[in-house]
Amino acid sequence: MPAEAKVDASSARQEPRPESRPDSPPLTQRQEARRRRILHASAQLASRGGFDAVQMREVAESSQVALGTLYRYFPSKIHLLVATMQDQLEHMHGTLRKKPPTGETAAERVAETLMRAFRALQREPHLADAMVRALTFADRSVSPEVDQVSHQTTAIILDAMGLERPTPEQLSAVRVIEHTWHSALITWLSGRASIAQVKIDIETVCRLIDLTAPGDTKDTP
């Protein structure tokens, strides 16, 4: 086991529940600023060198927090990188809202939105690889952070669909679309799929949206 993995596991056992966990009380302004610095440092290190470049000690130094404080926020590198992915998706969501998709159908709008998000990750391949690897390695201890990534992705898709109250069938379609998008990221990052193939796969799976639309409201925002 790598030295850092040993440190991460030990810290996860010994430290109290991190301040930034989704089920924790709201952060103070100072704590939120500290958390933002940590996530920014994580993204910067990952952008330069990928998964292996994100070392907890370097993140602490770059964000100007004590190593023990960093571990209180994020018990391990995996927790940190999954939280970084949620943060990146939240930023993308804000950008997408400023320039909504223009497709005529819900399926077209979702496909356009996911491809725009994909291209944003394409511009930072080392960061994308680090975040996707962390999401893949995540165990049950990282469930709150993984759930936040899923909720953010769902929100992005539902916004593109123009829905506030999706049916169970539509939510099922959204989950399948999320799985396909995640799988497309993995296959592209591993060099097993081109951008053109990713686009075809995403457009194909997004047709589930129209198939699960109730009655004549399938394209109504």
pLDDT band, very low/low/confident/very high, at 25 (cuts 50, 70, 90): confident
Whole-number mean pLDDT of the chain? 87
Residue 12 located in a structural domain? yes
Mean pLDDT of 107-122: 94
- As for how many domains the chain has, the answer is 1
Residue 129 has pLDDT above 60, yes or no: yes
Residue 221 located in a structural domain? no
How far from chain centre, in Å, is Cα 184?
A: 14
Residue 114 located in a structural domain? yes
Residue 220 located in a structural domain? no
Crossing angle of helices 56-63 and 77-98, in 10° steps, is 50
Mean pLDDT of 179-184: 94
DSSP per-residue letters across 121-156: HHTSHHHHHHHHHHHHH--GGGHHHHHHHHHHHHHH
Residue 86 located in a structural domain? yes
Predicted TM-score (pTM) of the model is 0.82
CB-based contact 187:193 (threshold 8 Å): yes
Q: Domain range for residue 79?
A: 3-214
Residue 219 located in a structural domain? no
Residue 102 located in a structural domain? yes
Residue 142 located in a structural domain? yes
Kindly tell me the sign of the dihedral angle through the C-alpha atoms of 10, 11, 15, 19.
negative
Alpha carbon distance 41, 220 (integer Å): 42
pLDDT band, very low/low/confident/very high, at 23 (cuts 50, 70, 90): low
* Lookup: tokens for 55: 């070392």
CATH number at residue 81: 1.10.357.10
pLDDT at 163: 85
